[in-house]
Structure 1
Amino acid sequence: MTQPPALIIIDMQQGMQSATLPPRNNPTAEGMIARLHAAWRVAGYPIVSVRHISRSPASVFAPGQSGVEFQPRFHPMVHEHVVEKNVPDAFIHTGLERWLHARGITHLVIVGVSTNNSVEATARTAGNLGFSTIVVSDATFTFDKTDFGGTHRSAEDVHLMALANLHGEYAEVMSSDDVLRRYAMGIA
């Protein structure tokens, strides 16, 4: 590994705290994301904050809505890279791949929301593009969903299936403790 891994924080926006969203899993995810975020900052490793900008004017993620703003604890610093996306995948029409290659970054650690949507889409593309990718299981979360057959699935079931879809094929799924150990950042 020539360059340190980039921490990719996906869609940690105020709209993700909306009371209108379905029930979610992993209520400690924000704490784990904050822990990794702080460790990356202390180490001086690259951080990319991804923000979803909806094309639908009715969305809480539409420009001009408070939901589009980063949650205060995840607000990027001036020198940290921000990617704005209009689809779940943070690589599509954003310049993220070019930004990473220009800096020689080949290893990515992905956290955020939703495990089965933006996290999974971004991790699949990262793996397909040849990046060594880790998805952090306890620093991601998702929401209840009804499957195509009409069966209600809990957020935890959706989360675990999304992680299973990724692990070993597109990414390695690890806990935040294991990520901190791997990159010798200590356990905060």
Structure 2
Amino acid sequence: MDITRNAALIVIDVQKGFDEEEFWGPRNNPAADENIAALITAWQETERPVVFVRHDSAKPDSPLRRGYRGNDFKEYVQARRELGKGPELLVTKTVNSAFYGTPDLHAWFEEAGITQLVVAGIQTNMCVETTARMGGNLGYRVLLPLDATHTFDLTGPFGWRQSADEIARSTAISLHGGGFAEVVTTVDVITAARA
């Protein structure tokens, strides 16, 4: 695996509100937070750009709504922000894709000459997947360390229900098989970034 010198790490919606299990239901991948933290540390140590994305939900009952404690980044993310190690950007959004946030992420990447993205965070099949798909559509080389994401069980049409693990696998297959992103592991990404 080859990681470019200015590959950007996009850390999506790692917010306290996602710890409210009574709202979201069962989640998968308890190691996701540890892997996300390791990616941020590796990116900062190698002085690569890190984009922190925060979802400011417009829904009044959402644990991610502005003004509510759940809107804040989880402690391990907040502690790593603004350490002065490499370029950093905060993007806020109200929809799934970080490319529809403020400031304009695509413009920032173009100005910095960034062509490769590593996408991690919450939820695998929502904002992470949407951002990865759009990144692929915009011509970026997207890497998705699946073990640095997590999601929740979900019920869809006709009473169909999938577990968080099933949803994560479906997302990985769609993104990788569809050519939107290369699905990888955190260890492989960090090893390549430090090589």
Matches within 5 A, 1:18-167: 18-20=20-22, 21-75=24-78, 76-77=81-82, 80-94=88-102, 95-167=104-176
TM-score when normalising by structure 2 = 0.90
- SS state at 1:67 partner: helix
- Equivalent pairs, count: 185
Structure in which a larger fraction of residues adopt helix: 2
* Aligned residues of 1:8 and 1:108 also touching (Cα < 8 A): yes
Q: How does 1:167-186 map to 2 (within 5 A)?
A: 167-168=176-177, 169-183=179-193, 185=194
SS in 1 for 2:14: coil
Contact preservation (8 Å) 2:151, 2:168: yes
Distance in 1 separating the partners of 2:97 and 2:89: 16
Q: Deviations over 1:123-181 (max 9, x none)?
A: 00000000110011110111001232312211100111011110141000000111122
Measured after TM superposition, the shift of residue 110 of structure 1 is: 0.4
In 2, Cα distance between equivalents of 1:128 and 1:11: 21
Q: Distance in 1 between matches of 2:176 and 2:106?
A: 21
Which range moves more in the overlay, 70-79 or 4-13? 70-79
38-47 vs 141-150, greater mean Cα deviation = 141-150
How much has 1:116 moved relative to structure 2?
0.6
Runs of 4+ that moved beyond 2 A: none
Q: Please, which moves more after superposition, 24-33 or 69-78?
A: 69-78
**One-letter code aligned to 1:170:** F
C-alpha separation between the residues in 1 aligned to 2:4 and 2:29?
33
Q: Is the 8 A contact 1:3 1:104 kept in 2?
A: no
Amino acid at match of 1:57: P
Residues 37 and 2 from structure 1, CA distance in 2 versus in 1: closer, same or farther, beyond 3 angstroms?
closer
Task: Output the CA distance in 1 between the equivalents of 2:191 and 2:42.
Answer: 11
Looking at structure 2, the residues matched to 46 and 23 of structure 1 have their Cα atoms a distance apart, in angstroms, of 32
CA-atom RMSD, angstroms?
Answer: 1.5
Q: How many percent of aligned residue pairs carry the same amino acid?
A: 40
Partner SS state of residue 32, structure 1? helix
